Amino acid sequence: MKLTRRSFVGAAAPALVGAQSANDAIRAAFIGVGNRGSYLLRHSLAVPGVRVAAVCDVQEDRAQAAAEVAGEKGHAAKAYYDYRKLLDDARTFDAVIIATPVNTHQEIAVAALAAGKHVYLEKPMALTPDECLAIVTASKAAKGILQVGFQLRFDPRRRAAMDFIHGGGIGKVLFMQGFRHGGDLPRNTPWYFDRTVSGDNIVEQACHILDLMTWAVDQSPLRVFGSGGINLYRDIPPGRTTMDNYAVIYEYPGDVRLVFSHIYFDPPGFTGIKERVFGSIGAVDLARAEFHERANRGAVKLEVPNEGENSTYLSLKAFYENARAGRKPPLNDADSALRSTLVAMMGRKAIYERRIVTWDEIAR
Ligand SMILES: NC(=O)c1ccc[n+]([C@@H]2O[C@H](COP(=O)([O-])OP(=O)(O)OC[C@H]3O[C@@H](n4cnc5c(N)ncnc54)[C@H](O)[C@@H]3O)[C@@H](O)[C@H]2O)c1
Protein backbone atom coordinates (compact mmCIF):
# COMPACT_ATOMS: atom_id res chain seq x y z
CA MET A 1 0.00 0.00 0.00
CA LYS A 2 1.29 3.44 -0.82
CA LEU A 3 1.71 5.36 2.40
CA THR A 4 0.33 8.86 2.25
CA ARG A 5 -0.66 11.33 4.89
CA ARG A 6 -4.28 10.66 3.99
CA SER A 7 -4.00 6.91 4.45
CA PHE A 8 -2.75 7.41 8.02
CA VAL A 9 -5.32 9.91 9.16
CA GLY A 10 -8.34 7.96 10.34
CA ALA A 11 -6.71 4.59 9.66
CA ALA A 12 -7.11 1.92 12.33
CA ALA A 13 -4.28 1.96 14.86
CA PRO A 14 -2.07 -1.16 14.79
CA ALA A 15 -1.81 -3.51 17.73
CA LEU A 16 0.76 -2.16 20.16
CA VAL A 17 3.77 -4.10 21.27
CA GLY A 18 4.60 -3.99 24.96
CA ALA A 19 8.35 -3.64 25.53
CA GLN A 20 8.40 -5.65 28.71
CA SER A 21 6.21 -7.15 31.38
CA ALA A 22 3.70 -4.99 33.21
CA ASN A 23 5.78 -5.15 36.41
CA ASP A 24 9.16 -4.03 35.06
CA ALA A 25 10.30 -0.46 35.51
CA ILE A 26 10.37 1.49 32.29
CA ARG A 27 13.72 3.18 31.69
CA ALA A 28 13.43 6.65 30.17
CA ALA A 29 15.94 8.78 28.26
CA PHE A 30 15.37 12.51 27.69
CA ILE A 31 16.62 14.36 24.61
CA GLY A 32 16.38 18.14 25.02
CA VAL A 33 16.09 19.26 28.64
CA GLY A 34 15.35 22.96 28.27
CA ASN A 35 12.07 24.56 29.30
CA ARG A 36 9.72 21.75 28.33
CA GLY A 37 12.09 18.80 28.63
CA SER A 38 12.94 19.61 32.24
CA TYR A 39 9.20 19.90 33.02
CA LEU A 40 8.60 16.50 31.41
CA LEU A 41 11.51 15.11 33.42
CA ARG A 42 10.08 16.36 36.72
CA HIS A 43 6.67 14.89 35.99
CA SER A 44 8.20 11.60 34.80
CA LEU A 45 10.07 11.30 38.10
CA ALA A 46 6.66 11.28 39.81
CA VAL A 47 5.22 8.45 37.68
CA PRO A 48 5.40 5.11 39.52
CA GLY A 49 7.61 2.51 37.84
CA VAL A 50 9.69 4.97 35.78
CA ARG A 51 13.49 5.09 36.03
CA VAL A 52 15.30 8.00 34.40
CA ALA A 53 18.34 6.36 32.79
CA ALA A 54 19.76 9.11 30.59
CA VAL A 55 19.47 12.79 29.72
CA CYS A 56 20.88 14.59 26.69
CA ASP A 57 21.23 18.20 25.62
CA VAL A 58 23.65 19.95 23.29
CA GLN A 59 24.01 22.53 26.07
CA GLU A 60 26.14 20.56 28.50
CA ASP A 61 25.11 22.55 31.58
CA ARG A 62 21.46 21.70 30.91
CA ALA A 63 22.20 17.99 30.57
CA GLN A 64 24.20 18.05 33.78
CA ALA A 65 21.50 19.97 35.64
CA ALA A 66 18.88 17.47 34.47
CA ALA A 67 21.06 14.55 35.61
CA GLU A 68 21.31 16.22 39.01
CA VAL A 69 17.54 16.66 39.25
CA ALA A 70 17.14 12.95 38.51
CA GLY A 71 19.94 12.12 40.95
CA GLU A 72 18.20 13.99 43.77
CA LYS A 73 15.30 11.53 43.37
CA GLY A 74 17.67 8.55 43.39
CA HIS A 75 17.84 7.96 39.63
CA ALA A 76 21.31 7.37 38.18
CA ALA A 77 20.95 9.26 34.90
CA LYS A 78 23.91 9.39 32.52
CA ALA A 79 24.42 12.77 30.80
CA TYR A 80 24.99 12.93 27.02
CA TYR A 81 25.61 15.92 24.78
CA ASP A 82 24.90 14.25 21.42
CA TYR A 83 21.70 12.30 20.92
CA ARG A 84 23.45 9.86 18.54
CA LYS A 85 25.80 8.83 21.35
CA LEU A 86 22.78 8.31 23.59
CA LEU A 87 21.15 6.11 20.95
CA ASP A 88 24.40 4.11 20.65
CA ASP A 89 23.63 3.02 24.23
CA ALA A 90 20.02 2.11 23.36
CA ARG A 91 20.17 -1.09 25.43
CA THR A 92 20.19 0.99 28.60
CA PHE A 93 16.67 2.45 28.17
CA ASP A 94 13.22 1.62 26.77
CA ALA A 95 11.64 5.00 26.05
CA VAL A 96 12.82 8.32 24.65
CA ILE A 97 11.22 11.66 25.47
CA ILE A 98 12.07 14.31 22.87
CA ALA A 99 11.69 18.02 23.67
CA THR A 100 14.04 19.74 21.24
CA PRO A 101 13.28 22.65 18.85
CA VAL A 102 10.75 21.74 16.17
CA ASN A 103 13.21 21.64 13.26
CA THR A 104 15.05 18.72 14.92
CA HIS A 105 11.98 16.56 15.59
CA GLN A 106 12.04 14.51 12.41
CA GLU A 107 15.70 13.52 12.58
CA ILE A 108 15.67 12.62 16.28
CA ALA A 109 12.26 10.92 16.37
CA VAL A 110 12.96 8.76 13.32
CA ALA A 111 16.34 7.71 14.77
CA ALA A 112 14.79 6.86 18.17
CA LEU A 113 12.00 4.84 16.55
CA ALA A 114 14.53 3.04 14.34
CA ALA A 115 16.47 2.16 17.50
CA GLY A 116 13.37 0.25 18.68
CA LYS A 117 12.41 2.70 21.41
CA HIS A 118 9.02 3.99 22.55
CA VAL A 119 8.89 7.70 21.72
CA TYR A 120 7.13 10.62 23.41
CA LEU A 121 7.68 13.48 20.98
CA GLU A 122 6.75 17.01 21.92
CA LYS A 123 4.26 18.85 19.76
CA PRO A 124 4.06 20.02 17.03
CA MET A 125 4.98 16.79 15.31
CA ALA A 126 7.48 18.50 12.97
CA LEU A 127 8.14 21.53 10.77
CA THR A 128 6.53 20.48 7.46
CA PRO A 129 3.93 17.99 6.21
CA ASP A 130 6.66 15.84 4.64
CA GLU A 131 8.59 15.69 7.91
CA CYS A 132 5.44 14.64 9.74
CA LEU A 133 4.83 11.91 7.20
CA ALA A 134 8.39 10.62 7.62
CA ILE A 135 7.85 10.33 11.39
CA VAL A 136 4.51 8.56 11.06
CA THR A 137 5.94 6.23 8.41
CA ALA A 138 8.78 5.37 10.80
CA SER A 139 6.31 4.80 13.64
CA LYS A 140 4.20 2.38 11.61
CA ALA A 141 7.28 0.23 10.99
CA ALA A 142 8.62 0.58 14.54
CA LYS A 143 8.56 -1.79 17.46
CA GLY A 144 7.82 1.01 19.91
CA ILE A 145 4.85 3.30 20.24
CA LEU A 146 4.75 6.98 19.31
CA GLN A 147 2.87 9.48 21.45
CA VAL A 148 2.91 13.22 20.75
CA GLY A 149 2.77 15.98 23.36
CA PHE A 150 -0.81 17.14 22.85
CA GLN A 151 -1.28 16.75 26.60
CA LEU A 152 -4.37 18.95 26.80
CA ARG A 153 -6.30 15.87 25.68
CA PHE A 154 -5.57 14.54 29.18
CA ASP A 155 -6.64 17.72 30.96
CA PRO A 156 -9.53 16.48 33.15
CA ARG A 157 -11.84 19.41 32.35
CA ARG A 158 -11.27 19.38 28.62
CA ARG A 159 -11.62 15.63 28.57
CA ALA A 160 -14.96 15.79 30.43
CA ALA A 161 -16.15 18.50 28.05
CA MET A 162 -15.11 16.39 25.09
CA ASP A 163 -16.92 13.33 26.43
CA PHE A 164 -20.01 15.51 26.83
CA ILE A 165 -19.76 16.75 23.23
CA HIS A 166 -19.08 13.29 21.82
CA GLY A 167 -22.00 11.92 23.86
CA GLY A 168 -24.38 14.37 22.13
CA GLY A 169 -24.71 16.73 25.12
CA ILE A 170 -24.64 19.90 23.02
CA GLY A 171 -26.55 18.37 20.10
CA LYS A 172 -25.13 18.79 16.61
CA VAL A 173 -21.85 20.73 16.61
CA LEU A 174 -22.39 23.95 14.66
CA PHE A 175 -19.53 26.35 15.37
CA MET A 176 -16.24 26.52 17.28
CA GLN A 177 -14.45 29.55 18.60
CA GLY A 178 -11.01 29.91 20.09
CA PHE A 179 -8.43 32.48 20.94
CA ARG A 180 -5.15 32.48 22.73
CA HIS A 181 -3.77 35.74 24.05
CA GLY A 182 -0.79 35.65 26.35
CA GLY A 183 1.72 38.37 25.64
CA ASP A 184 4.87 37.76 23.62
CA LEU A 185 6.99 34.65 24.01
CA PRO A 186 10.07 34.71 26.28
CA ARG A 187 12.89 36.54 24.54
CA ASN A 188 15.55 34.31 26.14
CA THR A 189 14.72 31.51 23.67
CA PRO A 190 15.68 32.88 20.23
CA TRP A 191 14.33 29.96 18.17
CA TYR A 192 10.74 30.79 19.22
CA PHE A 193 11.02 33.82 16.89
CA ASP A 194 12.51 32.03 13.87
CA ARG A 195 9.83 30.38 11.79
CA THR A 196 12.37 28.16 10.01
CA VAL A 197 13.00 26.54 13.40
CA SER A 198 9.61 26.78 15.15
CA GLY A 199 7.22 26.49 12.21
CA ASP A 200 5.70 29.85 13.27
CA ASN A 201 3.27 30.42 16.10
CA ILE A 202 0.19 28.86 14.53
CA VAL A 203 2.09 25.55 14.28
CA GLU A 204 4.29 25.75 17.38
CA GLN A 205 1.75 27.29 19.77
CA ALA A 206 -1.82 27.12 18.43
CA CYS A 207 -1.59 23.47 17.45
CA HIS A 208 -2.91 22.65 20.98
CA ILE A 209 -6.24 24.45 20.50
CA LEU A 210 -6.55 23.36 16.87
CA ASP A 211 -6.00 19.80 18.12
CA LEU A 212 -8.84 20.13 20.64
CA MET A 213 -11.25 21.63 18.11
CA THR A 214 -10.44 18.98 15.52
CA TRP A 215 -10.96 16.33 18.20
CA ALA A 216 -14.38 17.85 19.04
CA VAL A 217 -15.64 17.21 15.50
CA ASP A 218 -13.25 14.29 14.92
CA GLN A 219 -12.91 15.19 11.25
CA SER A 220 -10.33 16.93 9.13
CA PRO A 221 -11.26 20.43 7.95
CA LEU A 222 -12.22 20.92 4.31
CA ARG A 223 -10.64 24.35 3.82
CA VAL A 224 -9.20 27.35 5.64
CA PHE A 225 -8.61 31.02 5.05
CA GLY A 226 -6.42 33.20 7.24
CA SER A 227 -4.59 36.46 7.62
CA GLY A 228 -1.67 37.38 9.83
CA GLY A 229 1.57 39.26 10.16
CA ILE A 230 3.89 41.26 12.39
CA ASN A 231 2.12 44.49 13.33
CA LEU A 232 3.86 45.58 16.54
CA TYR A 233 7.02 43.54 17.11
CA ARG A 234 8.75 44.26 13.81
CA ASP A 235 12.36 43.10 14.23
CA ILE A 236 11.68 42.55 17.95
CA PRO A 237 13.64 40.55 18.82
CA PRO A 238 16.04 41.30 15.93
CA GLY A 239 15.43 39.09 12.91
CA ARG A 240 11.97 38.00 14.05
CA THR A 241 10.06 36.09 11.36
CA THR A 242 7.15 34.77 13.45
CA MET A 243 3.77 36.48 13.42
CA ASP A 244 2.55 38.56 16.32
CA ASN A 245 -1.10 38.34 15.27
CA TYR A 246 -3.24 36.23 12.98
CA ALA A 247 -6.75 34.85 12.52
CA VAL A 248 -8.00 31.77 10.69
CA ILE A 249 -11.43 30.48 9.67
CA TYR A 250 -11.72 26.74 9.03
CA GLU A 251 -14.67 24.92 7.48
CA TYR A 252 -15.24 21.35 8.63
CA PRO A 253 -17.65 18.81 7.09
CA GLY A 254 -21.27 19.28 8.11
CA ASP A 255 -21.11 23.08 7.69
CA VAL A 256 -19.14 23.50 10.94
CA ARG A 257 -16.92 26.56 11.22
CA LEU A 258 -13.96 27.26 13.49
CA VAL A 259 -12.77 30.80 14.10
CA PHE A 260 -9.43 31.14 15.89
CA SER A 261 -7.32 34.21 16.60
CA HIS A 262 -3.98 34.65 18.29
CA ILE A 263 -2.54 37.95 19.49
CA TYR A 264 0.83 38.52 21.16
CA PHE A 265 0.49 42.22 21.97
CA ASP A 266 -2.54 41.93 24.22
CA PRO A 267 -2.55 44.02 27.39
CA PRO A 268 -2.49 41.96 30.61
CA GLY A 269 -6.21 42.49 31.19
CA PHE A 270 -7.04 40.79 27.88
CA THR A 271 -4.79 37.77 28.41
CA GLY A 272 -6.36 34.33 28.33
CA ILE A 273 -7.67 31.50 26.24
CA LYS A 274 -11.09 30.72 24.84
CA GLU A 275 -12.12 27.28 23.68
CA ARG A 276 -15.85 27.14 22.95
CA VAL A 277 -17.84 24.59 20.98
CA PHE A 278 -21.42 25.57 20.06
CA GLY A 279 -24.13 23.00 19.29
CA SER A 280 -27.83 22.90 18.55
CA ILE A 281 -28.70 22.44 22.26
CA GLY A 282 -26.04 24.64 23.82
CA ALA A 283 -22.34 25.44 24.04
CA VAL A 284 -19.42 24.14 26.07
CA ASP A 285 -16.37 25.97 27.39
CA LEU A 286 -13.68 23.28 27.21
CA ALA A 287 -11.16 24.78 29.63
CA ARG A 288 -13.83 25.41 32.30
CA ALA A 289 -15.89 22.27 31.60
CA GLU A 290 -19.01 24.41 31.63
CA PHE A 291 -22.18 23.81 29.64
CA HIS A 292 -24.45 26.70 28.69
CA GLU A 293 -27.84 25.53 27.47
CA ARG A 294 -29.44 27.78 24.86
CA ALA A 295 -32.83 27.50 26.55
CA ASN A 296 -31.55 28.57 29.98
CA ARG A 297 -29.38 31.36 31.31
CA GLY A 298 -26.36 30.30 33.37
CA ALA A 299 -23.62 27.69 33.28
CA VAL A 300 -23.78 24.10 34.43
CA LYS A 301 -20.45 22.69 35.61
CA LEU A 302 -19.86 19.27 34.09
CA GLU A 303 -18.78 16.37 36.28
CA VAL A 304 -14.98 16.17 35.98
CA PRO A 305 -13.24 12.95 37.04
CA ASN A 306 -9.72 13.60 38.41
CA GLU A 307 -10.28 17.36 38.41
CA GLY A 308 -7.11 19.25 39.29
CA GLU A 309 -4.70 16.58 38.09
CA ASN A 310 -1.92 17.86 35.84
CA SER A 311 -2.45 17.12 32.15
CA THR A 312 1.26 16.64 31.43
CA TYR A 313 1.58 14.14 34.26
CA LEU A 314 -1.47 12.24 33.02
CA SER A 315 -0.20 12.26 29.43
CA LEU A 316 3.22 10.92 30.47
CA LYS A 317 1.64 8.33 32.78
CA ALA A 318 -0.48 7.05 29.87
CA PHE A 319 2.66 6.91 27.71
CA TYR A 320 4.67 4.87 30.21
CA GLU A 321 1.76 2.53 30.94
CA ASN A 322 1.25 2.03 27.26
CA ALA A 323 4.93 1.44 26.60
CA ARG A 324 5.10 -1.07 29.43
CA ALA A 325 1.95 -3.04 28.78
CA GLY A 326 0.78 -2.13 25.27
CA ARG A 327 -2.55 -1.19 26.76
CA LYS A 328 -4.29 0.81 24.05
CA PRO A 329 -3.52 3.67 21.68
CA PRO A 330 -3.19 6.90 23.66
CA LEU A 331 -5.54 9.85 23.17
CA ASN A 332 -2.65 11.76 21.63
CA ASP A 333 -1.51 9.01 19.27
CA ALA A 334 0.44 9.43 16.04
CA ASP A 335 -2.61 9.62 13.77
CA SER A 336 -4.42 12.32 15.73
CA ALA A 337 -1.18 14.26 16.18
CA LEU A 338 -0.49 14.08 12.46
CA ARG A 339 -3.94 15.40 11.67
CA SER A 340 -3.76 18.23 14.20
CA THR A 341 -0.29 19.30 13.10
CA LEU A 342 -1.45 19.32 9.48
CA VAL A 343 -4.50 21.41 10.45
CA ALA A 344 -2.12 24.03 11.85
CA MET A 345 0.15 23.83 8.78
CA MET A 346 -2.88 24.29 6.53
CA GLY A 347 -3.73 27.51 8.35
CA ARG A 348 -0.11 28.66 8.10
CA LYS A 349 -0.14 28.08 4.34
CA ALA A 350 -3.40 30.02 3.95
CA ILE A 351 -1.94 32.97 5.87
CA TYR A 352 1.39 32.99 4.04
CA GLU A 353 -0.18 32.58 0.59
CA ARG A 354 -3.20 34.80 1.29
CA ARG A 355 -5.67 32.32 -0.19
CA ILE A 356 -8.07 29.53 0.68
CA VAL A 357 -6.17 26.26 1.23
CA THR A 358 -7.93 22.89 1.05
CA TRP A 359 -7.20 19.80 3.14
CA ASP A 360 -6.36 17.85 -0.02
CA GLU A 361 -3.45 20.21 -0.70
CA ILE A 362 -1.87 19.53 2.66
CA ALA A 363 -2.75 15.83 3.12
CA ARG A 364 -1.83 14.80 -0.43
N1 LIG B 1 3.32 20.50 25.17
C2 LIG B 1 3.52 21.74 25.59
O3 LIG B 1 2.65 22.34 26.24
C4 LIG B 1 4.83 22.41 25.27
C5 LIG B 1 5.21 23.55 25.99
C6 LIG B 1 6.44 24.14 25.64
C7 LIG B 1 7.22 23.62 24.61
N8 LIG B 1 6.78 22.51 23.94
C9 LIG B 1 7.57 21.93 22.84
O10 LIG B 1 8.74 21.34 23.41
C11 LIG B 1 9.82 21.44 22.47
C12 LIG B 1 10.98 22.17 23.15
O13 LIG B 1 10.58 23.47 23.51
P14 LIG B 1 11.26 24.26 24.74
O15 LIG B 1 10.36 25.37 25.05
O16 LIG B 1 11.62 23.30 25.80
O17 LIG B 1 12.59 24.80 24.05
P18 LIG B 1 14.00 25.05 24.79
O19 LIG B 1 14.82 25.81 23.83
O20 LIG B 1 13.77 25.61 26.16
O21 LIG B 1 14.59 23.58 24.98
C22 LIG B 1 15.05 22.83 23.89
C23 LIG B 1 16.35 22.16 24.34
O24 LIG B 1 16.77 21.27 23.30
C25 LIG B 1 18.20 21.37 23.22
N26 LIG B 1 18.60 20.88 21.89
C27 LIG B 1 18.54 21.52 20.71
N28 LIG B 1 18.95 20.72 19.73
C29 LIG B 1 19.28 19.54 20.30
C30 LIG B 1 19.79 18.31 19.81
N31 LIG B 1 20.02 18.13 18.51
N32 LIG B 1 20.04 17.31 20.68
C33 LIG B 1 19.82 17.49 22.02
N34 LIG B 1 19.35 18.64 22.55
C35 LIG B 1 19.08 19.63 21.70
C36 LIG B 1 18.49 22.82 23.48
O37 LIG B 1 19.83 23.03 23.87
C38 LIG B 1 17.48 23.15 24.58
O39 LIG B 1 18.01 22.97 25.87
C40 LIG B 1 9.24 22.14 21.25
O41 LIG B 1 8.77 21.19 20.36
C42 LIG B 1 8.07 22.91 21.82
O43 LIG B 1 7.08 23.19 20.86
C44 LIG B 1 5.62 21.90 24.27
**14 pLDDT higher than 60:** no
Task: Report d(CA 332, CA 325) in Å as an integer.
Answer: 17
In sequence order, what DSSP letters do the residues of 288-344 get, joined into one string? TTEEEETTSSSEEEPP-TTTT--HHHHHHHHHHHHHHH-----TTBHHHHHHHHHHH
pLDDT above 90 (res 12) = no
pLDDT band at 24 (very low <50, low <70, confident <90, very high): confident
The percentage of residues in the chain with a pLDDT greater than 70, rounded to a whole number, is: 93
- What is the atom index within ligand 1 of the atom nearest the CA of 39? 16
Strand 290-293 versus strand 299-301 pairing type: antiparallel
Backbone dihedral region of 76: left (phi > 0), alpha (psi from -120 to 50 degrees) or beta? Answer: beta
Top mutation candidate among 57, 158, 187, 212 for ligand 1, by most atoms within 8 Å of CB: 57
Distance 133 CA to ligand 1 centre (A): 21
- Burial profile 11-39: b = 16 or more Cβ within 10 angstroms, e = fewer: eeeeebebbeeeeeebbbbbbbbbebbbe
Model pLDDT, residue 325 = 83
What average pLDDT does range 70-93 have in this prediction?
97
Domain(s) labelled CATH 3.40.50.720 in the chain stretch across: 5-151+311-330
Helices 156-166 and 311-325 pack at an angle, to 10 degrees, of: 70
- Answer whether residue 137 shows pLDDT above 90: yes
In 3-state terms the chain splits into helix, strand, coil percentages (rounded to 5) of 40, 20, 40
Compute the distance from residue 218 Cα to the ligand 1 centre, in Å.
28
Question: Which ligand 1 atom is the nearest neighbour of the CA of 36?
Answer: 16
- What distance in angstroms lies between residue 342's CA and the mean position of ligand 1's atoms? 20
Q: How far is the CA of 81 from the centre of ligand 1 (A)?
A: 14
Distance from the CA of 116 to the center of ligand 1, in angstroms?
22
- 204-231 mean pLDDT: 97
Which residues, judged by CB distance below 6 Å to any ligand atom, belong to the binding site of ligand 1? 31-37, 56-59, 62, 83, 99-102, 104, 122-123, 149, 151, 189, 204
SS3 279: strand
Superfamily of domain 153-309+344-362, CATH level 4: Dihydrodipicolinate Reductase; domain 2 (3.30.360.10)
The CATH homologous superfamily for domain 5-151+311-330 is NAD(P)-binding Rossmann-like Domain (3.40.50.720)
290-345 residue pLDDT tens: 999 999 899 999 999 999 999 999 999 999 999 988 767 788 889 999 999 999 99
Q: Running DSSP on this structure, what letter comes out for residue 221? A: -
CA of 310 from ligand 1 middle (Å) equals 20
Ligand 1 midpoint to CA 292 (Å): 38
For residue 77, pLDDT beyond 50:
yes
Q: Please compute the mean of the pLDDT values over residues 106-126 and round it to a whole number.
A: 98
Pairing of strands 256-263, 173-181: parallel
Domain with CATH 3.30.360.10 in the chain: 153-309+344-362
Banded pLDDT at 167 (limits 50, 70, 90): very high
* pLDDT recorded at residue 72: 97
More confident residue, 31 or 14: 31
Shortest-distance Cα residue to atom 25 of ligand 1: 32
Task: Identify the pLDDT of residue 214.
Answer: 97
**What is the chain's mean pLDDT, rounded?**
93
Whole-number pLDDT of residue 327? 61
What does pTM read for this prediction?
Answer: 0.94
Pair 159, 153: CB distance under 8 Å = yes
pLDDT tens by residue, 264-282 = 999 989 989 999 999 999 9
- pLDDT of residue 189 exceeding 70: yes
Atom of ligand 1 at shortest distance to CA of 108? Answer: 31
* pLDDT, position 22: 52
